Amino acid sequence: MTSAIPSEPALASETSDAAAAQARRPGPVDVALLASVFVVAACGLVYELSAAALSSYLLGDSILQFSTVIGTYLFAMGLGSWLSRFLDRQLPAHFLRIELLVACIGGLMPALLFLANAWVPGAFRLLLYGLVVVVGTLVGLEIPLVMRILRRHVQLKELVSQVLTFDYLGALAVSVAFPLLLVPHLGMIRTGLLFGWMNAAVAVWALWLFRHELRRFAAHAVACAAALLLLTLAFVGADRITSVAEDRFYQDRIVFSATSPYQRIVVTRGAAGHRLYLNGNLQFAERDEYRYHEALVHPVMAAHGAPKKVAVLGGGDGMAVREILKYPSVEQVTLVELDPNMTQLFGSHETLAALNGHSLGSPKLRIVNTDAFQWLQQDLDEVYDVIVVDFPDPTNFAIGKLYTNSFYALLDKRLSASGYAVVQTTSPLIARKSFWTVAATIESVGLRATPYHAHVPSFGEWGFIVASHRPWRMPEALPAGLRFLTPEALPLLFAFPPDMAKVPAPVNRLSNQVLVTTYEHEWGKP
């Protein structure tokens, strides 16, 4: 059996290291470096989250994007930690330079990605992962260098404990602040630049702390000043950067844009009037939105006859509510919209509120800003005559859960025995299997599924599905003044030509989310 007792030289070395560390208590330099670990950790996580969130916004499939970006970033950090072994001399100088590189590259990363998506979309993925690898490698170099600098004065066990504590505290602070404070109030670009500026401030701090050890002090000072100036100018001009990128991407003039904790909201104005985009996906065009919303709302409202209680899930733009309020029998409308920014925008913006007929200000309306899945689980005794489900298409798993059998089982419980629900269901022509997957999923919970479609020029051929406990009854009358639907034309919406006819389709479940991958494949999304 081999001995596990260290050799005498090794023991002597460890003893001398411990004695040296205990000979001096941590001084101002050590405390300052530990504080910088907090900032470094916070900045590193911001860059990681920014890259993952942007890729999710622009490429869809949030789980895939977050997984691949974070995995690549962690790999790059490991690479950086391994590379730190080759930095032997002038550790403070190396630390300062790395901080400046992280500040500039990491801080500017969201802006660069926005511009790349607009001007060179084909190179977006390459740039995304290239920047993630570079920033991750640089961040991976930081902590080992700090630990080696601090080891001169701090005992090893105290060093590891203190560095990792500050590292994790910095990560915790940012993980809470990023979605709740930073992105909603600053936006993605300014958030990146702010933390780049903080990285540069750490470099200035290091410049002062190690002023007696640094060679070429003046050159390092100029580099720090240049980095701070660059990041400050970019921060001031962030709105212009966003405008340049989005004007190129959307073509039409942008009249409103905001980033909420849930999505990127952009409203443009052009030849087709106003257009609403969520995460780059068109939601409506003023020129023909009436076709979509009349087809969505009136078949089920008219078929019921005299609905009193109506719920709208999604549809924070108020267009569906506008159509619902055309029925005098309606006493109460509950609008369940996750993003309060949407209901605030379309309730207070003069032009946009006019588009929905100021429906969001109706005394009959109750707005609930919460997740529709969670809302359905509450107050199961409260049922509705009509439920209008107007979610975005299932481009990611967060939205895809709202198209699962679990969701429709809850919907079933909130629908009255004589009631009708309607679900917007993508294009039965372009995404044929996706469309019939939703129909199969609705039927799997015991509801009847009655599909129909309408032509909306901005979208093409678009599909809807009625869900009900009773057989579908074609309405004989519709409200006066509709611009698209007529009682004579309505039955034609329920006839499907061969290229949109029913095909075998699976049930979309929370455990598999097959609809998301099918949808992306059929629409040819990356």
Do 107 and 142 fall within a single domain? yes
Residue 219: predicted pLDDT:
95
Q: Could you tell me which residues come within 8 angstroms of residue 496 by beta carbon, excluding any fewer than 6 positions away?
A: 428, 451, 453, 502
435 belongs to a structural domain: yes
* Predicted confidence band of residue 239 (pLDDT cuts 50, 70, 90): confident
Judgement on whether residues 469 and 492 belong to the same structural domain of the protein: yes
Contact 270, 257 (CB under 8 A): no
**pLDDT score for 13:** 43
Asked, for residue 361, whether it belongs to a domain, the answer is: yes
Q: C-alpha distances in angstroms, 437 versus 281, 463, 518?
A: 21, 12, 9
The amino acid that residue 495 corresponds to is A
On whether both 150 and 26 belong to a single domain, the answer is yes
Cβ-contact 522, 433 below 8 angstroms: yes
CB-based contact 157:147 (threshold 8 Å): no
Ramachandran sector of residue 211 (left: φ over 0; alpha: ψ -120 to 50; beta: rest): alpha
Side-chain-side CA neighbours of 55 within 13 Å: the count stands at: 27
Amino acid identity at 356 = N
Residue 65 pLDDT > 60: yes
pLDDT at 220: 95
In the set 30, 252, 390, 393, the catalytic residue is 390
> What are the distances in angstroms from CA 526 to CA 55, 257, 433?
11, 25, 18
Q: Can you tell me the mean pLDDT for 173-195?
A: 90
> CA-CA distances (angstroms) from residue 340 to 52, 99, 254, 335, 400?
23, 38, 21, 11, 20
* 223 and 255 assigned to the same domain: no
CATH code of residue 235: 1.20.1250
Distance CA 197, CA 145 (A): 20
CATH of the domain at 379: 3.40.50.150
Which residues have C-beta within 8 Å of that of residue 208, sequence separation ≥ 6?
Answer: none
Decide which of 229, 264, 283 is a domain's last residue. Answer: 283
Q: Cα separation of 392 and 342, whole Å? A: 13
Q: Say if 4 falls within a structural domain.
A: no
pLDDT above 50: residue 458:
yes
Domain that residue 299 falls in: 285-523
Q: Let me know whether 24 and 147 are in one domain.
A: yes
**What is d(CA 79, CA 164) in angstroms, rounded to the nearest whole number?**
19
Boundary of a domain, candidates 217, 244, 271: 244
Active-site residue 317, yes or no?
no
DSSP string, 327-339: -TT--EEEEE-S-
Q: Are residues 139 and 163 in the same domain?
A: yes
pLDDT value of position 165 = 86
The CA distance from 258 to 185, in Å, is 9
Total domains in the fold of the chain: 3
For 46-57, write each residue's pLDDT tens digit: 999 999 988 887
353, 356, 359, 360: CA torsion to nearest 10: -50
515: nearest Cα among 402, 370, 419: 402
Ramachandran assignment for 280, one of left (phi > 0), alpha (psi -120 to 50 degrees), beta (any other): left
pLDDT in tens, 313-356: 999 999 999 999 999 999 999 999 999 999 999 999 999 999 99
State how far the alpha carbon of 332 is from the alpha carbons of 298, 411, 436, 490, in Å: 17, 18, 32, 26
Tell me: the pLDDT tens digits for 97-154?
999 999 999 999 999 998 998 889 889 999 999 999 999 999 999 889 888 887 776 6
What rounded mean pLDDT belongs to the chain?
90
Residue 154: per-residue pLDDT? 67
3-class secondary-structure state, position 513: coil
CATH number, position 264: 2.30.140.10
CB burial string 303-312: b at 16+ within 10 A, e below: bbeebebbbb
152 or 174: which carries more pLDDT confidence?
174
- Residues 102 and 134 grouped into a single domain: yes
Mark whether 412 and 446 lie in a shared domain.
yes
pLDDT of residue 6: 42
Question: Is 3 a member of any domain?
Answer: no
